[in-house]
Amino acid sequence: MKKSVKIILGLLGGLALLVLMFFVIITLRGVPHYKPEKPVLKVDITPERIELGRKMATALCIDCHANPQTRQLSGTLVPDLPAEFGKVYSRNITQHPDAGIGKWTDGQIAYMLRTGITVEGNFVPFMPKFKLMSDEDIASIIAFLRSDNYAVKPVAQEPPASEYSFLAKALCNTVIKPLKYAHQPISTPDTTDRIAYGKYLVTARLQCFACHSKDFKTLDEEDPTKSEGYLAGGNPMVERDKKEIFSANITMDSETGIGKLNEEQFVKVLREGHMPDGRVLRYPMQPYTMLQAAEAKAIYAYLKTVPPVSNKVVRNVKP
């Protein structure tokens, strides 16, 4: 009996030592650094690209990167990231040569957008990564960042360094990794193929799946359709008053999803921000006013092909 007790105590002691070593290593290492590549890319800046880039930046970048006072993309505390990940600040992405990304090449910007790795080799774990985005869309974002739009004019302001929690550091050392840079050409699907184009909007350009799947920690950015709870909602997010809210089920389940919305109603919800019964969409979901009706219809066409999931999400914020 005494021998068995000693063995058990020895195993527990060894396990405790391993846990302690893991804690120390993760704490000291923090979020890993990586050696960035330097893709060769030169974007021709056109009015059409600037306009498309502006629309995408409105949907994807402004909420996290815009200073609340100036509305310039000079970086700020990311407002709707769950507190379990720590205090995370977005970086300055204005044209300032030192505080911003004014010295970055087009290739370096594209590399960060696709992989999450900056020029300095820093990994930005909670920024969306656009590995599946078409080359034209990436070029359009870069064109916007190079434009004379007020939002990206140089600002000499560097946000505070992010204070990642132990959980965030542990995830970055285990399951959350940078994506590989896509060297092969990626084209935008034919817009007349509504289902293919809608899938592209949901998984690549607008990344609806990121918020509307089960949890940020279980997203599959290589193949979004393999994310846990794909589009069935329940992802814990944060309202403006810092209370918790859960993302909606946007599969076509008629009871717990959006199956009762027809195409016209869906387009109005997405572009105008209110349900047929008058309920208004709540932050962090906001109206996609920049979205064309044809794009909203393509999203609806694709969602009709996604298997409905019965997942009743209690969206009411917790006290």
**pTM: predicted TM-score of the whole model, two decimal places:** 0.89
Note the pLDDT of residue 182. Answer: 87
Buried-state track 29-42, b at ≥16 Cβ within 10 A, e below 16: eebeeeebeebebe
Measure the CA–CA gap between 136 and 188, rounded to whole angstroms: 7
Note the pLDDT of residue 319. Answer: 45
Q: Which fold has domain 194-303?
A: Cytochrome Bc1 Complex; Chain D, domain 2 (1.10.760)
Q: Is there a contact between 59 and 128 (Cβ–Cβ < 8 Å)?
A: no
pLDDT tier, 4 (very low <50, low <70, confident <90, very high otherwise): low
Query: Which helix H or strand E contains 293, and what residues bound it?
Result: helix 293-303
Each residue's pLDDT tens digit, 156-184: 989 999 999 989 999 999 888 999 998 89
DSSP 8-state assignment for residue 274:
B
Note the pLDDT of residue 1. Answer: 54
* Summary mean pLDDT of the chain: 91
Tell me the mean pLDDT in the region 304-314: 96
DSSP 8-state assignment for residue 84:
G
Q: Is there a contact between 296 and 193 (Cβ–Cβ < 8 Å)?
A: no
Judged on CB neighbours under 10 Å (0-12, 13-18, 19+), 290 is middle
Each residue's pLDDT tens digit, 100-130: 999 999 999 999 999 999 999 999 998 999 9
Measure the CA–CA gap between 267 and 203, rounded to whole angstroms: 18
**Structure-derived torsion over alpha carbons of residues 274, 72, 182, 81, reported in degrees to the nearest 10:** -60
Give whole-number Cα distances, 84 to 161, 166, 167, 217, 221, in Å: 17, 9, 7, 11, 21
Note the pLDDT of residue 97. Answer: 96
Measure the CA–CA gap between 42 and 152, rounded to whole angstroms: 19
Each residue's pLDDT tens digit, 200-256: 999 999 999 999 999 988 999 999 999 999 999 999 988 877 788 999 999 999 999
Note the pLDDT of residue 5. Answer: 58
- Domain locations in the chain as residue ranges: 47-172, 194-303
Closest CA to 72 of 148, 162, 161: 148
Tell me the mean pLDDT in the region 277-303: 92
- Conformation bin of residue 44: beta by default, left when phi > 0, alpha when psi is -120 to 50: beta
Identify the residue with better confidence: 247 or 83.
247
Closest CA to 179 of 77, 84, 110, 76: 110
Measure the CA–CA gap between 306 and 225, rounded to whole angstroms: 9
Each residue's pLDDT tens digit, 5-29: 556 655 555 666 565 565 677 777 7
Note the pLDDT of residue 20. Answer: 58
pLDDT tier, 55 (very low <50, low <70, confident <90, very high otherwise): very high
Note the pLDDT of residue 63. Answer: 87
Measure the CA–CA gap between 26 and 314, rounded to whole angstroms: 35
Q: Which fold has domain 47-172?
A: Cytochrome Bc1 Complex; Chain D, domain 2 (1.10.760)
Which amino acid type is present at position 122? N
Measure the CA–CA gap between 139 and 50, rounded to whole angstroms: 9
Pairing of strands 244-246, 236-238: antiparallel
Tell me the mean pLDDT in the region 181-194: 95
SS3 86: strand
